[in-house]
Amino acid sequence: MKDVKYLVDTTLRDGEQSPGYALTKKQKVEIAAMLDAAGVYQIEAGIPAICSYERDTLCEIAQNKRNAKISVWNRLNETDIKQSFACNPDIIHIGVPVSYVQIYTKLHKNKTWIMNTMISCVDLALQKGYEVTVGFEDASRADPTFMLTLASALKAMGVNRIRFADTVGVLSPTRTYHAIHELISITGIEVEMHAHNDLGMAVANSLAAAKAGAKYIDTTILGIGERTGNCNFKNFISASEFAFTVSPTHSSATKVEQMAEKILVKDRKGGHYEKQI
């Protein structure tokens, strides 16, 4: 019996966030419906804090959904999280920068600030009755002991899942395996792998994470995303079917890709994703 892995598709958040993409409400609603109908477990649909147009879009996606869980992405910021409530998602995802370069150079904060702000933001969403997942941003370059401390604190609060983000796409499968295995074995928390393709290893790293026990894998249709993109939805399914049970099947994923491609690719010069090589 193969282990079951759950896909979290982030085409409508991390995918759309990459330069060249600006989907309309109708387009986002259509793509969400395709993913939902195909059997994707969770759809990360967007960022409520962007603007009211995006919040309207997210409301409609949440309203229309059938089986998939709809999640929305937030910065580590109470104002942003409050804006998410209006969209009525199933899951509120909070991104927490965890590497020193992100904490000290980007935010000009420190580890104590991260821990305290994370606890207050998570608490805010939990108090409203939402399922909360927390994304460790730049986890691949972070201090593992700090991540273990954060993960333990989250587990104690009732957060069951953290996202391990290889934000700049520098992991290898071996390093991915060890990092994920350590997080799970020490804290017992569930892990979601979020890989980027900067070195062409997003699919392999996601497979390594799944083998190490990550239950959830992030993907995007056509692999769209920041810089070189994310783990490609169809390609991951194709490679993982040897070892894991994943929904949707490869043939459903192919159909989703074909339909979504018409919306995502269009005539965007220089932004073609016709084939990821």
Partner 1 sequence: MIRITDKTLSCLDEYDAAPEQLRTLCGLLLELGTDFMELSVDAYQKIGVLPQNGRYILKVEDVIEGRSYPGFDRYICRHSGFVTPIENITEIQVNDINEINFLRQYQNLTNVRITGLDDIMCHDYKMAFEQIMKNISGKIELCPENRYFCATAIAVEWILFGGRNVAASFAGIGDYAPLEEVLMALRLELRYKPNMNYAVYPHIKELFEEITGQEIPAHKAIIGSNIFDVEAGIHADGILKDPNIYEPFNPELVGDKRCLVLGKHSGKAAVIIKLKELGITEDPITVSHLLEAVRQKSIEKQASLSDEDFIELVKAM
Q: Which of 145, 251, 262, 275 binds partner 1 (CB under 8 A)?
A: 275
Grouping H, G, I as helix, E, B as strand and the rest as coil, residue 137 is strand
207 counts as binding partner 1 under rule CB under 8 A: yes
Q: Which of 117, 228, 249, 252 binds partner 1 (CB under 8 A)?
A: 228
188 counts as binding partner 1 under rule CB under 8 A: no
Q: Which is nearer to partner 1, 34 or 189 (CB)?
A: 34
CA distance 232 to 237: 9
- Cis peptide bond upstream of 248, omega within 30: yes
The single-letter DSSP state of residue 232 is: B
Q: Which is nearer to partner 1, 158 or 200 (CB)?
A: 200
246 counts as binding partner 1 under rule CB under 8 A: no
Binding segment toward partner 1, per CB under 8 A, in 83-91, 153-161, 202-210, 245-253: 202-210
The angle subtended at Cα 127 by Cα 116 and Cα 133, nearest 5°, is 65
CA 176 to chain centre: 16
**CB 22 to partner 1: min, Å:** 4
Q: Which of 17, 117, 152, 254 binds partner 1 (CB under 8 A)?
A: 17
Positions in 32-71 near partner 1 (CB under 8 A): 47, 50-51, 53
Look at the alpha carbons of 165, 171, 173, 174 in this order and tell me if their dihedral is positive or negative.
negative
**CB 138 to partner 1: min, Å:** 8
CA distance 233 to 11: 9
Binding segment toward partner 1, per CB under 8 A, in 118-126, 183-191, 196-204, 246-254: 196-204
The helix (H) or strand (E) run that includes residue 95 is: strand 91-97
Nearest to 225 by CA among 248, 195, 254, 205: 195
Contacts with 37 (C-beta within 8 Å, 6 or more apart), sequence order: 66
- The residues that touch partner 1, with contacts defined as CB under 8 A, are 16-24, 27, 47, 50-51, 53, 75, 101-102, 105-106, 138, 167-170, 172-175, 197-201, 203-205, 207-208, 223-224, 226-229, 232, 235, 238-240, 242-243, 266, 268, 270-277
